[in-house]
Amino acid sequence: MIIAIRSCNSWRKRQSPARACGYILHMRPRLQRSMIMAISLSVILVGIAVPASGSPDTNLASGGKPPGGWIVDPSVYQSIFGGVGVGAPQGRVVADSGFRPYPHGFPMPNWGTNLDFAQNALVYGMPTRVTLEQLDGDKYQSPAPLNALSLRRSLGNGVCRDPRSIDPKTGKCDLILGAELLAQMIETGAQGGHCFGLAAAAAALYNGQLPANQVGASGLGINAANPMGDPAIQTITRLFGAQFLAPDLLPAAVAGQSPTELVETLKRTLPGGTVPFVLTVFGESGGHAITPYAVLDRGNGLYDIAVYDNNFPFRALAVTVDTNTDSFLYTSAVNPNSASYTWSTANKSTIALVDIDDVLAQQPCPVCRGKDQGTLLAFSSFPSANAEEITIVLLTPEGQPLASDLYRTLQPLNPPTESQQSAPLIFVDPGVDFLVGVAAGKLAASQPIEVYALSNGASSYLLLEEVTSDSTIVFGVGEDAATFQSTKASSPRIQQLYDGRTTSYDVNGHPLLLPKEVKVNQDWDRSAKKVRYSSSAKRTLSWNVQVTGVRDSGEASWVALRVPVPAAAEILVDYSRASATTAPLAWVVAKDKTRTPMRMQRVTDSLLDQYRDQLYAVQGPS
């Protein structure tokens, strides 16, 4: 995995800029359909919640006969991942926490997209069985988004519009809009896999740092019969998101540490009976997070670190360290029939330990109201087929490369995949206005893109449902303004959010069929409660515009659809006196300042049903 975003002076002039400045990112492959069908048939035949025949091997994988039985017949795991001895650690145990992949690991493998989760439900029957017909017809239930309680656990009560309104029984509250957009960004980032969350949650549950009901387990540390319902999904996803939020986590993981010192640390700490760390590996093929729980001495300076790899449920795998050369080697794959990926000192990969306490700690909130901490810039994942054809750069408002000391670029810890590729995270210093440039070469697959620019109290979001080959788009991020321009015809959706002391607002602009090279401006005067939508088009454009206000007493959203705006004219929306029953004032303002009133209508459920593809929910397009 190459994680750098490179500011190339000539990126706009190259025939294929993505080849010169791009990055190659890999995430977790999905099971092939032929394998899914074969395995699902075997699962249906043997059923679920079948106890293992005989006693499992007393080894580093199972640790003796587990108390709860297998939620899926062991033959299913063997048919996918091979026997428990494949890739198992070797040598004499010199440090042992007592953790075992069975029963302390999760009973199904890592997943990325909603489709991956549905495929797991087809094979393993969790949280509910999905049939092939449901899978083919996209008629399956996706995991619920991060809720207020999960966000509060990670970020504190600042994610609530009014912390005094927190429900004492459920722990839930009315979220600020920035928190909802942040949750959406974390879920988008997890499309490459939830490995970091799985590794951390399994360890924290075993350590007693997370209660069993918060993870959905049947008892403290006993995870084998976890039904993988909402408690498990919420905890795994929010802990996955810690890597986006903890300022030093990813830099330390990517920098790595001495493999020999890492072994010595585990030898000192694991005999205490807990798993205090997540182990990370990082290299050109991507990043991965696993759970280290024992150390074995193989003799002659060689050690195996026994790990629970969440791509391999209930298996003990080994990271090998040679203390003579201070080097390491680890190979992982999703299943025996998919490509394997090797991280090693020889191929310049790094290895590190991340403290579980740091993952569980309350993280800085990048969207909560308060002092500006800078901008967290994130992107949706890309199809692997397009990976080498996508370039992302940061520019000044004048179009020059942004100085590299004004931002940091980091790659999330996602396991490799053949279908999707994770985009990097970028942290931009406070007070910096900038442009995001995305250049596409010859694209081999359909390419949508989402851009998240998250900052304290105010955030911006861009959705482009289709990026075309050989095109460049520019999205401008400022305190009160957003801009967009593309070298090809497009239809961008631009959303700006602001969370005030008592009321949150979001404003949306959607120029339909925007011609190439036309620049769009969305200027928001928050103090006057006015929004101007304009463009450099030389002909009439149609616009959808929407303004939403949210407070504890309720929410009101007003929209105008397909508004014709002549060349050199603009839309002006004044929502200073708007309410749930009073529409904002709105006009099309001509070049000579002549105003033509335009009607805004209340967004209702029936209107959403009628214009679902053109209206916005609280976060992003509906």
Span 290-300, pLDDT tens digits: 999 999 999 99
> With bands split at pLDDT 50, 70 and 90, how would you rate the model's confidence at 52?
very low
302-308 and 350-355 as β-strands: parallel, antiparallel, unpaired? unpaired
- Report the pLDDT value the prediction gives residue 604, as an integer from 0 to 100: 83
> With bands split at pLDDT 50, 70 and 90, how would you rate the model's confidence at 15?
very low
Neighbours of 53 (CB within 10 A): 10
- Asked whether residue 171 carries a pLDDT value surpassing 50, the answer given is yes
- Asked whether residue 51 carries a pLDDT value surpassing 70, the answer given is no
CA distances from 576 to 177, 399, 598 (A): 19, 34, 16
Six token digits for residue 268: 């000192």
Q: Is 372 left (phi over 0), alpha (psi -120 to 50) or beta?
A: beta
CA-atom Rg of the chain in angstroms: 26
Q: Kindly report, residue by residue over 428-470, the tens digit of the pLDDT.
A: 999 899 999 999 999 988 889 999 999 988 899 999 999 999 9
Task: Give me the residues paired with residue 125 across strands.
Answer: none
Written as one letter, the residue type at 177 is L
Hey, is 238 helix, strand or coil? helix
184-220 b/e (C-beta count within 10 Å ≥ 16 → b): bbbbbbbbbbbbbbbbbbbbbbbbebbebebbbbbee
Neighbours of 599 (CB within 10 A): 10
d(CA 458, CA 500): 9
Q: Kindly report, residue by residue over 300-348, the tens digit of the pLDDT.
A: 999 999 999 999 888 899 999 999 999 999 988 654 445 678 899 999 9
- Report the pLDDT value the prediction gives residue 613, as an integer from 0 to 100: 66
What's the average model confidence in pLDDT over 72-94?
Answer: 79
d(CA 264, CA 325): 15
Mean pLDDT value across the chain: 84
Q: Kindly report, residue by residue over 40-49, the tens digit of the pLDDT.
A: 444 433 333 3
Neighbours of 109 (CB within 10 A): 26
Written as one letter, the residue type at 319 is V
**Selected residue with higher pLDDT from 29 and 570:** 570
Q: Which of 1, 5, 3, 2 is nearest to 406 (CA)?
A: 5
Six token digits for residue 166: 């927190």
Q: Kindly report, residue by residue over 372-424, the tens digit of the pLDDT.
A: 889 999 998 888 888 889 999 999 999 999 999 999 988 777 755 667 777 88
- Report the pLDDT value the prediction gives residue 27, as an integer from 0 to 100: 29
- Report the pLDDT value the prediction gives residue 74, as an integer from 0 to 100: 72
Question: Minimum mean pLDDT among 4-18, 47-61, 319-333, 595-609: which range?
Answer: 4-18
What is the share, in percent, of the chain residues with pLDDT greater than 90?
A: 58
Burial tier of 412 (Cβ tally within 10 Å: 0-12, 13-18, 19+): buried
What's the average model confidence in pLDDT over 543-568?
Answer: 90
125-129, 331-335, 563-567 — which one is most confidently predicted on average?
A: 563-567
N-term to C-term CA, the chain: 33
- Report the pLDDT value the prediction gives residue 105, as an integer from 0 to 100: 93
Question: Minimum mean pLDDT among 173-177, 254-258, 354-358: which range?
Answer: 173-177
- Asked whether residue 57 carries a pLDDT value surpassing 70, the answer given is no
- Report the pLDDT value the prediction gives residue 412, as an integer from 0 to 100: 79
- Report the pLDDT value the prediction gives residue 257, as an integer from 0 to 100: 97
CA distances from 135 to 112, 122, 190, 352, 616 (A): 16, 8, 21, 38, 27
DSSP one-letter code for 72: B
- Asked whether residue 536 carries a pLDDT value surpassing 50, the answer given is yes
- Report the pLDDT value the prediction gives residue 221, as an integer from 0 to 100: 62
- Report the pLDDT value the prediction gives residue 382, as an integer from 0 to 100: 83
> With bands split at pLDDT 50, 70 and 90, how would you rate the model's confidence at 512?
very high
d(CA 466, CA 446): 7
- Asked whether residue 28 carries a pLDDT value surpassing 80, the answer given is no
What's the average model confidence in pLDDT over 145-172?
Answer: 93
- Report the pLDDT value the prediction gives residue 220, as an integer from 0 to 100: 61
The DSSP string of 273-324 is SS--EEEEEEETTEEEEEEEEEEEEEETTEEEEEEE-TTSTT-EEEEEEETT
Task: Give me the residues paired with residue 532 across strands.
Answer: 523, 572
What's the average model confidence in pLDDT over 225-234?
Answer: 93
Q: Kindly report, residue by residue over 266-276, the tens digit of the pLDDT.
A: 999 999 999 99
The set of residues, in sequence order, having a beta carbon less than 8 Å from that of 538 and lying 6+ positions away, is: 567
Q: Tell me the whole-structure pTM to 2 decimals.
A: 0.82
Side-chain half-sphere exposure of 536, counting CA atoms within 13 A: 9
What's the average model confidence in pLDDT over 91-111?
Answer: 92
